Amino acid sequence: MFGGNVSPANSPHLRKSTSRSRVFDLGAGDLGSSAEENFLQSVESDEMKGVTTPLTTVAIMPSPILLWRLKVLLFVIWGFICCKVGWGSVMRMSADLRDLFLYEAFLYYNPLLLVTLMVWLWGINLWVFFQANISYATIFELDQYHLTHREIWKCATWMTIIVPTSMTAYLYLYSHGEVPLAAFQPVLLYSAVAMIIIFPFDIFYLSSRYFLLRTLWRIVFPLQAITFPDFFVADIFTSMSKVFSDLERSVCRMVHRQVATIAWFEADSVCGSHSVAIPIVLVLPYIFRLFQCLRQYKDTGEKTTLLNALKYSTAVPVIFLSALKYHVLPDQWTNIYRPLWLLSSVLNSSYSFYWDVNRDWDMSGFTRIFKFSKLHFFSHMLYGRKWVYFWVLSSNLILRCTWTYKLSAHLRHNYLTVFAITALEIFRRFQWVFFRVEKEVNKMNTKQNIQLSTIDKSTEEDALLLSDHNV
C-alpha cells in the first residue's frame, strides 16, 4: 500500500513498471557527445559527395491529452459493455432465483471492489499530501522508491478493470448454463491476487509488496516496538473488518466447492450465515489493535495507550452479542441480549467518536473550529475553512453510528445496504487519514523545534563560557 525499503540503491531493477529512470553511467555524456560528432561528420561527408541523406525518422508520439482521452473513451466503452452483459445475464434468471444469484455473485466480488475503493482513496490521500508538501514518506518510514499517487492510481485502475470483468464473466457464464466455468472465475481472480502479493521476483513493485507483507506480520505478531505505520495500517484494517469477513466466507465456499451453488445459503452449512467464523474474523482487527496498544504501554508506560486499548475492546461485545441471535432462543434475544447489544453499540460509537476528535485529531474542546491558534500544514489548502471541520465532525459522528451496522452479523441480510455502509466507513477512514497525518506532522515538527532550541541554548552557553574564559 505504501512503499518499501528493501531494494538496494544500485539495483538495476528497482522499479519495473512506471518507474522514474535512474541512470548511474558516468560516461554517458562522453558517449553522447562522440555520437553527435560522428553523426555530423557523416552528414558533412555525404554533402561533399553530393548524397542527400533523409532525415532520421522519428516516431511521432501523440500528445498526452489525446492519449488520456483515448483511455477514458476505452474505459467508458468497457464499462458500458460490462453493464450491458451483466444486466442481460441477470435478466435471464428466473425471478425466484435472481436474488440468490445476485447475493452469491456479490459475496465473491464485493470485498475486492471495496479494496479497490480503498486504493483509489489512498491515492487521493497521497495526492493531497504531495500538493501540501507533506513529507509523508518520512512519517510512514518509506524509502525513496515508494509508490507515488500516480502509481497507486494506476494499480487502482487495473483493479477497477479486472474485478468487474471477472464478475461480468461469472454472471454471463452462470446464466448461460456454463456453471463449471462460472465457478472458476472467482477462484481464478482470488488466486491471481494472492500470487501477485506473494510473488518473490522483482516485478510488480516488489519493495512495496514486501513492505505491506512485513507490516502485516508486525500487526499480527506485535513482538517489537510499534511504529506509526504499524498502528496506522491496523486502524485501516478495523474499518475493513466486514471486507475480511466476506473474504473468509468466499474462500470457505471455494475450499468446500460451493461456488455457483445455492447450498451455501443454508444457515447451518459450514460456510453459512450462522458460521462461528464470521464474528471471529470480524473481531480480529480489533484484537490486533488492542495488542498493539498493550505493547505500546509496555514500551512507553503511557496510560493513554490503555485507554486506547479499552476503546478497541468495546467492539468485542457488539460483534459477539450480535452473533448470539443465531444461537439463542428468540425470547432470550429480545429480552436479554438485544438490549445489551444496543447498549454496547452506543458505548462503542460514542467512545470511538470521542477518541477520533480528542486524541487522533487533537481537536480538544473543538477549539480548532472557532479559532485557529495553532499552525497547521493543510490550512493553506483546505483545513483553514471552518465548514470543513463541521462536515468532518458531523459525518464522522453519523458514520460512527452506522459503523455498528457492519459489525452486527444479524443485520447482514440486505447485502446492498451493508455494502453501502461499508463503503461509507471506508470513506470515513479516508477523511480520518488527513487529520491523523496532520497531527503526526505537527508532533514531529514540535520535536524538531525542541531539539533545535536545545542546540541553540547549548551553543549560547558555550559562547558565554568561551567569552568568560577570554576575559
pLDDT in tens, 298-351: 999 999 999 999 999 999 999 999 888 888 898 999 899 999 999 999 999 999
Residue 211 cell numbers, joined? 513492505
Give the model's confidence band at 377: pLDDT under 50 very low, under 70 low, under 90 confident, else very high. very low
Say whether pLDDT at 430 is over 90: yes
**Residue 179, domain member (yes or no):** yes
396-415 residue pLDDT tens: 989 988 877 777 877 766 77
Q: How high is the pLDDT of residue 118?
A: 96
Q: How high is the pLDDT of residue 24?
A: 37
Number of domains present in the structure of the chain? 1
Say whether pLDDT at 16 is over 70: no
**Residue 245, domain member (yes or no):** no
Say whether pLDDT at 365 is over 80: no
Give the model's confidence band at 361: pLDDT under 50 very low, under 70 low, under 90 confident, else very high. confident
**Residue 287, domain member (yes or no):** no
**Residue 452, domain member (yes or no):** no
Calculate the average pLDDT of the chain.
80
Q: How high is the pLDDT of residue 416?
A: 83
* Mean pLDDT value of segment 108-135: 93
* Mean pLDDT value of segment 209-225: 92
* Mean pLDDT value of segment 262-277: 69
Highest mean predicted confidence (pLDDT) among 56-65, 269-278, 347-356:
347-356
Q: Give the structural domain span for 77.
A: 66-192
Q: How high is the pLDDT of residue 457?
A: 58
* Mean pLDDT value of segment 15-24: 40
Percent of the chain at pLDDT above 70? 75
* Mean pLDDT value of segment 121-148: 88
Q: How high is the pLDDT of residue 262?
A: 62
**Residue 226, domain member (yes or no):** no
**Residue 280, domain member (yes or no):** no
138-177 residue pLDDT tens: 888 887 778 999 999 999 999 999 999 999 999 999 888 8
Q: How high is the pLDDT of residue 17?
A: 40
pTM (2 d.p.): 0.79
Measured distance CA(89)–CA(168) in Å, rounded: 8
**Residue 260, domain member (yes or no):** no
- Greater confidence (100 vs 269) lies with 100
185-195 residue pLDDT tens: 999 999 999 99
Give the model's confidence band at 379: pLDDT under 50 very low, under 70 low, under 90 confident, else very high. very low
Q: How high is the pLDDT of residue 67?
A: 86
**Residue 111, domain member (yes or no):** yes
Q: How high is the pLDDT of residue 378?
A: 47
